[in-house]
Amino acid sequence: MPYSTEFLLSAYRTMKTIREFEERCVKEFEGGNIPGFTHVSNGQEAIAVAACIDLSDKDIIGSTHRGHGHCIAKGCDVGGMMKEIMGRATGLCKGKGGSMHIADIDKGMLGANAIVGGGPPLVNGAALAAKTLGTKNVALSFNGDGSANQGTVFEAMNLAVVLKLPHVFVYENNGYAEGTAANYGVGSNSLTDRNAGFGMPAECVDGLDFFATYEALKTATERARNGGGPTAIEAMCVRFDGHFIGDPQLYRGKDEIKNARKNQDCLKIFRERVIAEGWLKAAEMNAIDKEVMAEIETSVVDALAAPHPDPATDLMSDVYCSY
């Protein structure tokens, strides 16, 4: 067996946690319990977990507006996340960040980022710190097929190559930049060809296949850790929901989402593979399912009961270290 049982169970548990967290976010948003804008990543779980499962808290990731999955995969506390997304004082960011700015520096999670393409330049900085301090830590930025067209991302890729930074660029290509197709917005048609043009190893993988994605990212991460510089991995995937919760998705084809949920579900693909290979038993995963459902339920109950921030003390704090 190429993977330990512990590894496989961990991967499945994290993917399932993301799935249930996101599906529950939709429900809670629709129920009026989540303020603002929320973007969920259900359907894309395999990439987040494949990218983060081998990283330590000292390795840094930078995420996107669709960042819940990356947070969970990086080890952020699910209860703290749900409280944050509901704007509670005991949330991961004291309710000051919310879904689009959720972060946990202690876990090496440098933040979701509500500016498309905002993250990769910053992740270069984390990689530069690792290189300068000689820590052997790596940094990994999540991008979409949308942010792939931002100039900041081009600049970040070039600088990463020039300075040989330990930075893995992950492109989650779900086919849609908000409501515009990647095959319209990416002028070169192939992100991976374009990424290679920056002078770094570039590869395209099936992001629905946890194992293919994991192996590509493992190679990229090891290369970065060993001083080999940046790599770009494009992972093809499917977004089960809209750009934001509530997006009517009129731009999507008839039955597209229904078919994707049926035939392009990375969790189902994972289960079928590990059962077929004889690596895990269905019962083991069913047991995890129950535990995850209970954890998510608890996170919602706790979040709904959690205190709101107090404007008298919380509005003006945390702007500066000193002023």
Partner 1 sequence: MTNHSNNPAIGGKTSMKTIREAINDALREEMRRDPTVIILGEEVSGGAGCDGEDDAYGGVFGVTKGLMPEFGRERVIDTPISEAAIIGAAAGAANNGLRPVAELMFFDFIGVSFDQIFNQAAKFRYMFGGKSKTPMVIRGTVGGGWRAGAQHSSMLHSIVTHIAGLKVVMPANAYDAKGLMVQAIRDDDPVIFLEHKVMYDIACEVPDEQYSIPFGEASFPRQGNDVTIVAISNMVTHAITVADILAEEGIGCDVIDPRTVSPLDHEAILESVEVTGRLVIIDEGNPRCGLATDIAGIVAEHGFYSLKAPILTVTAPHTPVPFAPELEDAYLPSAEKLMVAVREVLAAGRSGA
| Residue 156 contacts partner 1 per CB under 8 A | yes
Q: Least CB distance from residue 63 to partner 1, whole Å?
A: 13
Residue number, 7 or 154, with CB nearest to partner 1? 154
| Residue 181 contacts partner 1 per CB under 8 A | no
| Residue 93 contacts partner 1 per CB under 8 A | yes
| Residue 75 contacts partner 1 per CB under 8 A | no
| Residue 151 contacts partner 1 per CB under 8 A | yes
Which long-range contacts (C-beta less than 8 Å, at least 24 apart) are formed by 185-194?
A: 185/145, 185/146, 185/149, 186/145, 186/148, 186/149, 187/149, 191/145, 191/148, 191/234, 192/232, 192/234, 194/148
Query: Which of 43, 79, 91, 207 contacts partner 1 by CB under 8 A?
Result: 91
Query: Which of 115, 282, 294, 301 contacts partner 1 by CB under 8 A?
Result: 115
| Residue 60 contacts partner 1 per CB under 8 A | yes
Span of 33-41, 113-121, 206-214, 248-256 interacting with partner 1 by CB under 8 A: 113-121
Among 290, 319, 53, residue whose Cα is nearest residue 61: 53
| Residue 81 contacts partner 1 per CB under 8 A | no
Among 106, 110, 85, residue whose Cα is nearest residue 27: 85
Q: Classify strands 139-144 and 167-173 as parallel, antiparallel or unpaired.
A: parallel
| Residue 321 contacts partner 1 per CB under 8 A | yes
From residue 116, give the alpha-carbon distance in Å to each of 81, 267, 286: 21, 27, 37
Among 259, 239, 188, 182, residue whose Cα is nearest residue 47: 239
User: Is-contact 230 168, C-beta < 8 A?
Assistant: yes
Residue number, 151 or 253, with CB nearest to partner 1? 151
From residue 63, give the alpha-carbon distance in Å to each of 68, 141, 168, 256, 268: 9, 6, 12, 27, 25
Q: Least CB distance from residue 120 to partner 1, whole Å?
A: 7
Cα 172 to Cα 261: distance, rounded to the nearest angstrom: 17
Residue number, 93 or 266, with CB nearest to partner 1? 93
Task: Report the residue count for the chain.
Answer: 323
98: tokens are: 């919310």
Q: Classify strands 231-236 and 167-173 as parallel, antiparallel or unpaired.
A: parallel
| Residue 124 contacts partner 1 per CB under 8 A | yes
Query: Which of 8, 71, 122, 170 contacts partner 1 by CB under 8 A?
Result: 122
Residue number, 109 or 204, with CB nearest to partner 1? 109
Q: Least CB distance from residue 106 to partner 1, whole Å?
A: 7
| Residue 105 contacts partner 1 per CB under 8 A | yes
DSSP 279: S
| Residue 261 contacts partner 1 per CB under 8 A | no
Quick note: the x/- pattern for partner 1 over 40-59, rule CB under 8 A, is --------------------
Residue number, 132 or 189, with CB nearest to partner 1? 132
Give the interface size with partner 1 as a residue count (CB under 8 A). Answer: 49
User: Is-contact 170 142, C-beta < 8 A?
Assistant: yes
**Footprint of partner 1 (CB under 8 A):** 60, 62, 91-97, 101, 103-106, 110-111, 113-115, 118, 120-130, 132-133, 139, 151-152, 155-156, 158-159, 162-163, 317-323
